[in-house]
Structure 1
């Protein structure tokens, strides 16, 4: 496994991944270390511009029936929230591994590690079938306090990553999982992924 320090580099962050709020909660609670993505409607493909980025909770597309029953408790209080208003950040992540998932069998092998229902995962796989899914193994760090930034028009739309006009400091962040806890979740997942093609991370 790639080595990731429990104490993250105290560098400012200026990119954010739009991710379902329920998935952000799962990452922050240490319930998962995996995100599986395909680009938004306006994107030709999913690309990861940085190895460290903030998590921006989104509410528009998530629905309880799209996540496995074991994760639906994390939906509490999210049902009627919207993506309008200021940006709120409580965590960021470091990419430990990034892989392309191009075969349905490989996606099936990841089922126990992701929070999507198998039906929804397959639907995402079939959308734009010539484009692979990207599996990201992430180490999550919790900010010492919530950071609120103003919404700007450039942040809107169906896009995966947002380039922020304001930066967010990472000083004082702590890992969502201890090294041992992270190893327990990430090691079997990385064993499944290690035979797949790596996905590009960074410029």
Structure 2
């Protein structure tokens, strides 16, 4: 630490249910339209490496496909100031792009747990039909980090600054060969 400045890293706010699916190797992409507090330029995957910051709200389980409802925490309300949050995963984005063709977005269904209705709603939201997509490799922290929830982590924004340095040696949640296969499948679907 130089000059008394704490090291920080980016945190990507995502539903707890999605974080669980990513950690289980069941989801491999992030789809984001952007929150109302993303600023004038809107949302972008501006960080290639980041912690997953789990968010909660009561209806998460209803917005994922039924076969993945087991990832949804039961009775979990929104975080309240002072609640302890476990930050358990680190992500590396292999690539990010903006999708403007609904057929491409719909074809990604095998790689995420959201309902088609939710993804379509996000895609259609705003003046331009589009959604941002990133293929991510997820790593489990050897020791989860604990964080006390503060109001500054709330609101409709994707990125938050977390008071942690990047992790030293996280473990991939899926083996390299399996992730390479998923990457090839996603890129084939998108014609990349």
Smaller-chain TM-score bracket: 0.7 to 0.9
CA RMSD of aligned residues (A): 1.9
2:53 to 41, 52, 56: 56
Distance 1:144 1:21 in 2: 19
Contact kept? 1:13, 1:52, Cα under 8 Å = no
Distance 1:14 1:62 in 2: 29
Query: What pairs up with 1:121-140 in 2 under 5 angstroms?
Result: 121-130=119-128, 132-140=130-138
- The offset of 1:52, in angstroms, is 0.2
Give the corresponding residue for 2:4: none
Distance 1:35 1:169 in 2: 20
Is 2:25 the counterpart of 1:27?
no
Please list every run of at least 4 consecutive aligned residues from structure 1 whose deviation after the TM superposition is greater than 6 angstroms: none
Aligned residues: 182
Distance 1:62 1:138 in 2: 25
- The offset of 1:22, in angstroms, is 0.7
Q: What SS does the aligned partner of 1:46 have?
A: coil
Q: What SS does the aligned partner of 1:135 have?
A: strand
Distance 1:64 1:155 in 2: 22
**Gaps (5+ residues) in structure 1?**
1-11, 196-203
Give the corresponding residue for 1:9: none
Contact kept? 1:13, 1:54, Cα under 8 Å = no
**TM-score scaled to structure 2, two decimals?**
0.86
Distance 1:119 1:151 in 2: 30
- The offset of 1:79, in angstroms, is 3.2
**TM-score scaled to structure 1, two decimals?**
0.81
Query: What pairs up with 1:158-177 in 2 under 5 angstroms?
Result: 158-164=156-162, 166-177=163-174
1:128-173 per-residue CA deviation (whole Å, 9 max, x = no partner) reads 1416211110000000121012333322211101022x12441231
